[in-house]
Structure 1
Amino acid sequence: MSETKDARTERLKAALRENLRRRKAQGRGRAETGPSPGAGESEPSETDSRGPDSDKTGL
């Protein structure tokens, strides 16, 4: 039982290292290309900072 547990632990360690390596590479790729078009820019929503009833002044 200990050998199978050790083997599983080693597989998980290797998978986590590979995942981290892949995520770092993706992050570097994104940093090189800059922000994607439209990143950080959002369309004003229907309920902006003034609130949903802001256009009903004078009622």
Structure 2
Amino acid sequence: MTDVKSQQKADRLKAALKENLKRRKAQARGRQAANGPGNESGSLSVAAERDKPSD
């Protein structure tokens, strides 16, 4: 019985994570569209700034 419950919980978690990923991808596409085509500003430049070594 416990194995069945843990499998159901794992399946619910998997589905929730999948939906979250879809939502985040849609948000990223929306932000990219708002920035305009060919404009690389946005989350990519923020990540690049974050990953630069500090002086």
Give runs of aligned pairs for residues 1-59 of structure 1, distance below 5 A.
Answer: 1-37=3-39
Higher helix share: 2
Structure with greater Cα Rg: 1
**TM-score of the pair, normalised by structure 1:** 0.58
Give ranges in structure 1 of 5+ residues lacking alignment.
39-59
Give ranges in structure 2 of 5+ residues lacking alignment.
41-55
Q: Give aligned pairs, total.
A: 38
Structure 1: distance between partners of 2:33 and 2:39: 13
* Superposition CA RMSD, Å: 1.6
**TM-score of the pair, normalised by structure 2:** 0.62
